[in-house]
């Protein structure tokens, strides 16, 4: 399986999104996958300007001359597109949304009926890659991801891709608490690796593995106390402290 992993966190290699994605990819590689990661923050990708020139003037080719052309080629070659984004105001980051909008040259403007809905055919007739969503968020409750997951599922129906599932980790800064809480961190990382292996071996992400990735590791009140103490320390220091 060829995985194209796209990381939409502005924190690139320092972010919690990176830890989630790389741990998942470790598992996927153990099971034989080939994976390549790109950081959108390091790429030049202009906003879609809605001119439709990629549909009617130069079919398949965007008016912008930037890094997206190379990324479209990688999407076309992939069996699986991994969308990795932190939750930003209940959705994906602007970097990721810009990337997703710029995938429009891969669609053909005509309409076709698919399962009772009109959709755009794929321009090149090939099967689009399956999509896996990986996301982290700062809040405690898993339901924070509901809007993002719904969006990505709809996006997959729009693009005629199979949505495999969402690997989500609330209270993302648990990844930095290895010294304090070694056992839960080890178990959560192992569940993430298991999810990566399962994707490659079975083509699925089973609910119990996803539950293990997202599971609580602290009582809610302890999370509140610890988080507020952390932010007080950051405010006193005048900067965001690495835990
Ligand atoms: C602009 C912004 C918006 C955010 N919105 C949310 C949110 O709606 N819900 C949430 O739980 N966390 C939110 N967060 C927290 C991030 O999801 C969290 O810090 C995450 O670990 C960031 O990913 P990164 O470490 O890869 O940068 C937000 C953070 C920022 C900077």
**Does residue 190 sit within a domain?**
yes
DSSP readout, the chain?
A: -EEEEEE--TTGGGSHHHHHHHHHHHHHHHTT-EEEEEEGGGS--PPP----HHHHTSTT--S--STHHHHHHHHHH-SEEEEEEE-BTTB--HHHHHHHHTTGGGB-SS-EEETTEEEPPBTT-SPPPEEEEEEE-SSS-GGGGHHHHHHHHHHHHHHT--EEEEEEESSGGGGG-TTT-HHHHHHHHHHHHHHHHHHHHHS---HHHHHHHH---S-HHHHHHHHHHHHHHHHHHTSPPP-
Question: Distance from the CA of 163 to the center of ligand 1, in angstroms?
Answer: 23
Residues contacting ligand 1 via CB (< 6 Å): 9, 11, 15-17, 86-90, 136-139, 144, 172
**Does residue 137 sit within a domain?**
yes
pTM of this structure: 0.97
**Does residue 164 sit within a domain?**
yes
**Does residue 237 sit within a domain?**
no
Closest-CA residue, ligand 1 atom 30, reads 88
Chain-centroid distance of CA 194 in Å reads 17
Q: What are phi and psi of 165, to 5 degrees?
A: 160, 180
Chain-centroid distance of CA 38 in Å reads 12
Which CATH number does the domain housing residue 88 bear?
3.40.50.360
Q: Which atom of ligand 1 is least distant from the CA of 90?
A: 8
- What integer pLDDT is reported at residue 116 of this predicted model? 94
Question: Distance from the CA of 171 to the center of ligand 1, in angstroms?
Answer: 10
How many residues in the chain? 243
**Does residue 25 sit within a domain?**
yes
Q: Which atom of ligand 1 is least distant from the CA of 89?
A: 8
For each of the chain's 243 residues, which pLDDT tens digit applies?
Answer: 999 999 999 999 999 999 999 999 999 999 999 999 999 999 999 999 999 999 999 999 999 999 999 999 999 999 999 999 999 999 999 999 999 999 999 999 999 999 999 999 999 988 999 999 999 999 999 999 999 999 999 999 999 999 999 999 999 999 999 999 999 999 999 999 999 999 999 999 999 999 999 999 899 999 999 999 999 999 999 999 875
Relative to beta strand 112-114, strand 80-86 is unpaired
- What integer pLDDT is reported at residue 126 of this predicted model? 86
Closest by Cα among 13, 12, 19 to 213: 19
**Does residue 235 sit within a domain?**
no
Closest-CA residue, ligand 1 atom 20, reads 137
Instruction: Give the chain's domain count.
Output: 1
Structural domain for 208, as ranges: 2-217
Q: What is the DSSP letter of 88?
A: B
Q: Rounded to an integer, what distance in angstroms lies between the CA atom of residue 235 and that of residue 243?
A: 14
- What integer pLDDT is reported at residue 209 of this predicted model? 98
**Does residue 242 sit within a domain?**
no
Q: What are phi and psi of 232, to 5 degrees?
A: -60, -40
Q: Which atom of ligand 1 is least distant from the CA of 17?
A: 26
**Does residue 240 sit within a domain?**
no
130 strand-pairing partners:
80
């Amino acid at each position: 399986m060829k995985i194209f992993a796209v990381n939409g966190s502005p924190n690139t290699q320092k972010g919690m999104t990176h830890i989630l994605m790389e741990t998942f990819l470790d598992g996927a590689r153990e099971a034989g996958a080939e994976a390549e990661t790109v950081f959108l923050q390091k790429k030049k990708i202009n906003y879609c300007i809605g001119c439709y020139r990629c549909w009617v003037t130069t079919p398949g080719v965007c008016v912008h001359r930037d890094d997206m052309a190379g990324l479209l080629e990688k999407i076309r070659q992939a069996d699986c597109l991994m969308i990795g984004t932190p939750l930003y105001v209940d959705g994906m980051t602007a970097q990721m949304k810009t990337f997703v909008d710029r995938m429009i040259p891969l669609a053909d403007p005509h309409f076709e009926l698919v399962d009772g809905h009109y959709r755009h055919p794929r321009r090149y007739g090939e099967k689009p890659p399956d999509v896996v969503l990986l996301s982290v968020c700062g809040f405690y409750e898993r339901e924070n991801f509901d809007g993002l997951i719904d969006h990505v599922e709809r996006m997959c129906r729009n693009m005629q891709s199979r949505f495999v599932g969402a690997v989500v980790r609330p209270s993302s800064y648990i990844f930095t608490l290895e010294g304090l809480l070694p056992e839960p961190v080890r178990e959560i990382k192992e569940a993430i690796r298991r999810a990566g292996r399962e994707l490659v071996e079975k083509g699925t992400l089973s609910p119990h593995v996803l539950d293990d990735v997202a599971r609580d590791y602290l009582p809610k009140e302890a999370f509140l106390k610890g988080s507020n103490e952390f932010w007080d320390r950051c405010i006193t220091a005048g900067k965001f402290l690495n835990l």
